[in-house]
Structure 1
Amino acid sequence: MTNVLILGGTAWLSGRIATRWIDTGARVTCLARGTQPVPKGAELVRADRGDADPYGELRGEWDEIVDVSRHAHHASGAIAALGARTARWTYVSSTSVYADAATPDTDESAEMLAPAQDGDEYEYGAHKVASEQIVRTLGDRARIVRPGLIVGPGDPSDRFGYWAAAFDRAAEGPVLIPRVQGRSAQVIDVDDLVTFLVEGSSSGAVNAVGDVHELGHVLNAVRAATGHSGEVVAADDGWLEAHGVEIWAGEHSLPLWLPMDMGGFMTRSNAAFKTAGATLTPLSETIARIVVDERARGVNRERRAGLTRDQELALLAAV
């Protein structure tokens, strides 16, 4: 029986990873604070990775350890305590490690950000770079997977799902979008990522990203899936900025909207990912699942990204 340790295992992505390993028949242990339940069939070891010795209760060795940490000191502590006790260490990094956000179709050899140092202000990409460096000390046992924007049912970031909610809640009313000309979108279905993490056999680092699509095509596909029949109003970048609309994520934002000089951010090469055996769910199927999920969770619920309908209507009135 495959023995797997998930450092986490209760959040959106790590919980799905744990569940998929359980489905294969593996024995799965999740090290987590226990604020959320572990998947059925997994063993929970309660620990806070911010503590001095969070790994003291773990015994034995593993065939696979999976870590999704965002902080370099969590990665370094885990490697120091557990690195010698596993046959393979899979680290879930991010395409945010790359320094160049402008050049399309860059692969895994692209220049990376400077790694985070102790005392630096927290920056997600820099911590992922530092974590990768730590994981690489395991040599051939290290496996690094760099997802792009992960999407699918239950996504807590609300970025991609915002558009399903926006078109669905509007019904016959108008929806505000950014100018789409010259812009792209690239996502990875969470289930495709999880399948690759559990069943894939890549070594080194690989970009786990989907195919590149024109942003206009993606928004049209989401609109069609919701049955939206109202007007679609595109606003220029300068107008959106002047009215306090944020890019990419967060409150009062238009998710997936990025500056024109970041054309490489969502156009990374996925050639190595496909060569390593990854399969990609058709975008239309991913969108259909997200629409169902957004309706189930409530298209007017409080969100971590996007505009409220009232905010959107106020902006539309001013266009």
Structure 2
Amino acid sequence: MKKILVTGGTVFVSRYIAEYYVAKGYDVYVLNRNTKEQSKGVKLIEADRHDLGETLREYRFDTVIDTGYTSDDVELLLNALGDYENYILISSSAVYPEYVPQPFKEDAPLSNNKYWGKYGTNKIEAETALLKRNPNAYILRPPYLYGPMNNVYREAFVFDCALADRKFYLPKDGDMKLQFFHVHDLCRFIDVLLKVKPSRHIFNVGNKEVVSIRKWVELCYNVVGKQASFVSVHQDVEQRNYFSFYDYEYCLDVSLQYELMGDVKSLEQGLEESYAWYINNKDKVNRKPLIEYIENTLC
């Protein structure tokens, strides 16, 4: 039985990854401080990743899947690990500065992105630290991840609006494009990496099709069984006060991913799965006062 270590394992991406590999019959260990409910079937290593000491020395892992944010996160984990074969870091498309020509390719320059700020530069430093220590590690750079267990108030916000039969306040004409990747497809691509062991070690991952925010909202309403009607917002107000995303359109070139894994979930199917999970797990989403802002400022 293959042993996998997942850092975190209690929230969205890392939790989904842990449960995905439990379902595949792997021996799944999660590393966290045990402050949240653990998934069924995982084996908990209770520790702070910044104070690991000898906690991990006795283990031998086939694969380490890390969602670390900073170079310290990566360095300290590498220092603490015993024997392992594969290391995969879930990084982010936030590593690309907004002024680089799009779609972003994996070999594009990395630098501060004014929308993502420290989050993006921290991920750059984490990637650099990892590849310096382990050039054979893999790095994945997704756009917006979505799917079951998403605790970020994105599609859940639109579901709430649809459930309440609210008109949706849409930035401008709704033409801004977004790119998504379902968390299940992220796991499937990890499977591909572990099987194929490609010589390339950095991959953009995502659906090759981008979608306008108007279309995305319409799809979210549709899975709830409602039809969206819109109010266009042209006022000079901060978009993130009433909408789930920055006023920032970008696109990743994911052709290298598609060479290895040519099929992904459609956005429609993915949102159906998101809604099926959300309707029974509303308490697990970190809500923001978007509706309150709309009612107090835009109505």
Instruction: Sort the TM-score into its range (normalised by shorter chain).
Output: 0.7 to 0.9
- Answering whether residue 154 of structure 2 is matched by residue 167 of structure 1, we say no
**Shift in Å, 1:272:** 1.2
Distance verdict in 2 for CA 1:102–1:166, change over 3 Å: farther
In the other structure, the counterpart of 2:107 is 109
Distance verdict in 2 for CA 1:145–1:268, change over 3 Å: same
- Answering whether residue 190 of structure 2 is matched by residue 187 of structure 1, we say no
- Answering whether residue 269 of structure 2 is matched by residue 280 of structure 1, we say no
Question: % of aligned pairs identical?
Answer: 19
Q: Which runs of 5+ in 2 are unaligned?
A: none
Separation in structure 1 between the aligned mates of residue 219 and residue 155 of structure 2, nearest angstrom: 12
In the other structure, the counterpart of 1:253 is 242
In the other structure, the counterpart of 2:211 is 213
**Displaced runs of 4+ in structure 1, greater than 4 A?**
none
Separation in structure 2 between the aligned mates of residue 144 and residue 107 of structure 1, nearest angstrom: 14
Distance verdict in 2 for CA 1:68–1:11, change over 3 Å: same
Equivalent residue in structure 2 for 1:292, among 265, 276, 290: 276
Task: Describe the superposition over 1:155-201 as per-residue Cα deviations: whole angstroms up to 9, x where unpaired.
Answer: 111123212222222x2x42211124541011111111122224434
Distance verdict in 2 for CA 1:137–1:268, change over 3 Å: same
Secondary structure of 1:273's aligned partner: helix
Equivalent residue in structure 2 for 1:142, among 113, 137, 142: 137
Separation in structure 2 between the aligned mates of residue 177 and residue 55 of structure 1, nearest angstrom: 52
Preserved CA contact (<8 Å) 1:192 1:278: no
Alignment of 1:1-319 (within 5 A): 1-51=1-51, 53-82=52-81, 85-100=83-98, 103-113=101-111, 123-169=118-164, 171=165, 173-200=166-193, 201=196, 202=198, 203-210=200-207, 211-229=209-227, 231-236=229-234, 239-241=235-237, 245-247=238-240, 252-258=241-247, 262-264=248-250, 267-277=251-261, 279-298=263-282, 303-305=286-288, 307-308=290-291, 310-317=292-299
- Give the aligned residue type for 2:204: N
Task: Describe the superposition over 1:68-101 as per-residue Cα deviations: whole angstroms up to 9, x where unpaired.
Answer: 011221111112232x721111111001011235
Secondary structure of 1:63's aligned partner: strand
Separation in structure 2 between the aligned mates of residue 193 and residue 35 of structure 1, nearest angstrom: 26
- Give the aligned residue type for 1:91: L
Separation in structure 2 between the aligned mates of residue 296 and residue 240 of structure 1, nearest angstrom: 36
- Aligned pair count reads 291
Cα RMSD of the aligned pairs, angstroms, is 2.6
State the TM-score, normalizing by the size of structure 1. 0.81
Separation in structure 1 between the aligned mates of residue 146 and residue 186 of structure 2, nearest angstrom: 10
- Give the aligned residue type for 2:22: I
Secondary structure of 1:88's aligned partner: strand
State the TM-score, normalizing by the size of structure 2. 0.86
Distance verdict in 2 for CA 1:295–1:57, change over 3 Å: closer
Separation in structure 2 between the aligned mates of residue 282 and residue 61 of structure 1, nearest angstrom: 37
Separation in structure 2 between the aligned mates of residue 229 and residue 279 of structure 1, nearest angstrom: 28
- Give the aligned residue type for 2:89: Y
Separation in structure 2 between the aligned mates of residue 149 and residue 226 of structure 1, nearest angstrom: 21
Q: Which moved more, 1:225-234 or 1:204-213?
A: 225-234
Distance verdict in 2 for CA 1:229–1:10, change over 3 Å: closer
Distance verdict in 2 for CA 1:4–1:295, change over 3 Å: closer
In the other structure, the counterpart of 1:119 is none
- Give the aligned residue type for 1:163: V
Q: Which moved more, 1:38-47 or 1:226-235?
A: 226-235
Q: Which moved more, 1:100-109 or 1:155-164?
A: 100-109
